[in-house]
């Protein structure tokens, strides 16, 4: 006997009555649909309903997971681009790409933990047995996989090898090679001019130590000079006219404060009128050393460093423009990677 198919109206009535608690004989009387056919149709409707509910639940979970994936990519990108910028500290640029990128992926790029929590939460369990609630290796690997995911989502818009590997990476590697040599040459220049002054005045360096209360004035002069050069490179005003260092008097009366100042910081502070000539000599040594390093025969290092910084800045700005969230979000939405939820 052919199975009776209920019309949509009949099925709707059967469902309504059954959900109100009607018995199958009562449903048969009310709808004129044979009770076995009504029961079979209702059970099929229930199965289909459960399937649709499961599909809807999966869809909601997938939508939430994709939203989280999208947010993770945007957070990762923001942290990545910020850290690709040329660092403010000269010491930080001495990491080449082989050292820098592993360090970068150790950081909290997804902004999930405070600095004090990056070691993972630990509770005691039983007799002093540590119980860890997080795995930093998982987190590290997650950031690496998300970075690869970012490349997949953006590969039609961004030539990653060209911008990051070839241009930014090579510029950073070149900076990492130049800076140690620049440190060495700058130290040689400062020592050379100090030795010349020491020959004219045998206790000159000792007077600088005592007058400035600086244990290692040579090291201090080299450090400040390098910082000034680096700041000028970052501002792209290396050729700016005007002195690098000045002697500045501060206050009135005796002892008067005498500062040897660079453009951005105080190098030494002396007190008393008798130290004015000493401060002037120190200022002169700092100034001629700066001009020698930046404009003399060793200036090629500074100019090369400036060129590489410009290359890094340009590559970073391109990434910053292309990976802005208002551009990145549509790219992610219209593409797919292996980590995208189904």
In the chain, pLDDT over 70 holds for what percent of residues?
92
Q: What is the pLDDT of residue 132?
A: 53
Contact between 276 and 255 under an 8 Å Cβ cutoff? The reply is: no
pLDDT for position 221: 95
**Which pLDDT score is estimated for 180?**
95
Q: Which of 2-6, 32-36, 280-284 has the lowest mean pLDDT?
A: 2-6
pLDDT over 90 (residue 125): no
Q: How far apart, in whole angstroms, are the C-alpha atoms of residue 54 and residue 223?
A: 66
Which token pair is 76? Answer: 């990762």
Rounded mean pLDDT, 150-165: 95
Average pLDDT over residues 43-53: 90
Q: Higher confidence at residue 136 or residue 110?
A: 110
pLDDT at 73 over 60: yes
Average pLDDT value over all residues in the chain:
88
Instruction: Compute the average pLDDT of residues 95-100.
Output: 94
Per-residue pLDDT band at 115 (split at 50, 70, 90): very low
Measure the CA–CA gap between 110 and 141, rounded to whole angstroms: 12
The domain segmentation of the chain, as residue ranges, is 8-67, 160-319
Range from 74-83, 113-122, 128-137 that averages highest in pLDDT: 74-83
Condensed to tens digits (0 to 9), the pLDDT of residues 162-177 reads 999 999 999 999 999 9
Rounded Cα distance between 106 and 27, Å, is 67
Length of the chain: 342
For 47, how many CA atoms within 13 A lie in the half-sphere containing its CB?
6
Nearest 10 degrees: CA dihedral of 159, 325, 103, 95?
60
Per-residue pLDDT band at 272 (split at 50, 70, 90): confident
Nearest alpha-carbon partner for 224 in 256, 275, 265, 187: 265
pLDDT tens, position by position, 210-240: 888 889 999 999 999 999 999 999 999 888 8
Residue 193's pLDDT band (cuts 50, 70, 90): very high
- Residue with the bigger pLDDT between 131 and 61: it is 61
CA separation, residue 144 to residues 73, 148, 313, 334 (Å): 11, 6, 23, 22
Contact 268, 212 (CB under 8 A): yes
**Tokens 């002195």 identify what position?**
243
Q: Looking at the predicted structure, is the pLDDT value of residue 136 above 90?
A: no
């Amino acid at each position: 006997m052919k199975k009776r198919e209920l019309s949509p109206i009949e099925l709707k009535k059967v469902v309504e009555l059954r959900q109100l608690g009607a018995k199958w004989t009562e449903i048969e009387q009310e709808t004129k649909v044979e009770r076995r056919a009504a029961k079979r149709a209702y059970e099929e409707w229930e199965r289909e309903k459960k399937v649709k509910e499961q599909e809807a639940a999966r869809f909601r979970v997938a939508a939430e997971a994709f939203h989280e994936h999208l947010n993770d990519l945007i957070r990762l990108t923001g942290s990545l681009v910020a850290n690709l910028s040329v660092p403010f500290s000269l010491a930080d640029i001495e990491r080449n790409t082989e050292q820098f990128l592993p360090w970068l992926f150790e950081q909290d790029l997804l902004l999930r933990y405070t600095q004090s929590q990056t070691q993972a939460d630990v509770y005691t369990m039983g007799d002093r047995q540590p119980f860890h609630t997080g795995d930093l290796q998982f987190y590290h690997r997650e950031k690496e996989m998300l970075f690869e995911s970012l490349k997949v989502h953006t590969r039609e818009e961004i030539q990653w090898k060209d911008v990051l590997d070839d241009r930014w990476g090579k510029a950073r590697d070149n900076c990492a090679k130049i800076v140690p040599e620049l440190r060495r040459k700058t130290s040689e220049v400062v020592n050379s001019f100090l030795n010349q002054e020491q020959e004219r005045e045998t206790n000159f360096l000792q007077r600088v130590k005592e007058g400035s209360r600086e244990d290692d004035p040579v090291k201090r002069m080299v450090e400040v000079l390098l910082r000034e050069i680096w700041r000028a490179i970052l501002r792209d005003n290396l050729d700016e006219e005007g002195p690098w260092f000045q002697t500045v008097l501060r206050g009135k009366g005796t002892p008067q404060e005498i500062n040897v100042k660079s453009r951005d910081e105080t190098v030494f502070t002396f007190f008393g009128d008798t130290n004015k000539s000493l401060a002037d000599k120190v200022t002169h040594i700092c100034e001629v050393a700066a001009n020698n390093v930046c404009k003399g025969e060793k200036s090629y290092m500074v100019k090369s460093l400036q060129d590489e910084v410009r290359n890094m800045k340009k590559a970073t700005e391109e990434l910053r423009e292309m990976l802005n969230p208002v551009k990145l979000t549509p790219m992610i939405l219209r593409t797919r990677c292996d980590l995208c939820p189904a």
